[in-house]
Amino acid sequence: MTSNPQITSRVATLQDAPSIAEIYNQGIEDRTSTFETRPRSTADIEKWFDGMHPIVVLEVQGEIKAFASTSGYRPRDCYAGIAEFSVYVDRASRGQKLGEIAMRHLIQESEKAGFWKLLSRVFPENQASLKMLSRMGFREVGTYHRHGQLEGIWKDVVIVERLLGAVAKI
């Protein structure tokens, strides 16, 4: 997937769940990327592997340093082609565009899986993620004000979306 022989992105497997959990738990601890506060176990992450929603990992010299994943948006059939996404990078590896590489692969895998749109919600103060997503063709749809509380503080989120495949060309 990537041209740097030391960096490889690939579709994740169940064996990657411990590394994904470790990176996701860093994001939870940092309190900058998710409303979640409960650390996730390997078993929690294994439940993400449903055969429908792509997950990719990015390895640097054989060690997983980032992941990007999709999950269901809404249960109604009319939304079956829309997936929510998340992207997380190992704390020590941030600022090296690894999340962008993982997202590029996730977009490709999401198109292969038949999704026509990816969307997510990003904290407005997470400027690094918002800038990366903008570079990748995601547009800001709007802001949900007071969308949720994190440790008793109301937080806004910026809604981002990107159309995929043939729908993106209409």
User: For the residues 66-79, what does the mean pLDDT come to?
Assistant: 96
CATH code of the domain containing 87: 3.40.630.30
Q: Is residue 168 part of a domain?
A: no
Structural domain boundaries, residue 58? 7-119
Q: Is residue 167 part of a domain?
A: no
Q: Is residue 103 part of a domain?
A: yes
| pTM of this structure | 0.93
Q: Is residue 131 part of a domain?
A: no
Q: In the predicted model, what is the mean pLDDT of the chain? A: 95
169 pLDDT tier (thresholds 50, 70, 90) = confident
Q: Is the pLDDT of residue 155 over 70?
A: yes
What is the layout of strands, in order, in the sheet containing 82-89? 7-11, 55-60, 63-72, 82-89, 117-122, 153-163, 139-150
* pLDDT (tens digit per residue) in 85-103: 999 999 999 999 999 999 9
Residue 50 phi/psi, 5° resolution? -105, 0
- What's the CA gap between 37 and 23, in Å, rounded? 14
Q: Is residue 141 part of a domain?
A: no
Q: Is residue 28 part of a domain?
A: yes
Q: Is residue 148 part of a domain?
A: no
Q: Is residue 22 part of a domain?
A: yes
Report the domain count for the chain. 1
Instruction: Choose among 105, 109, 164, 113: nearest CA to 137.
Output: 164
Question: Three-class SS of residue 54?
Answer: coil
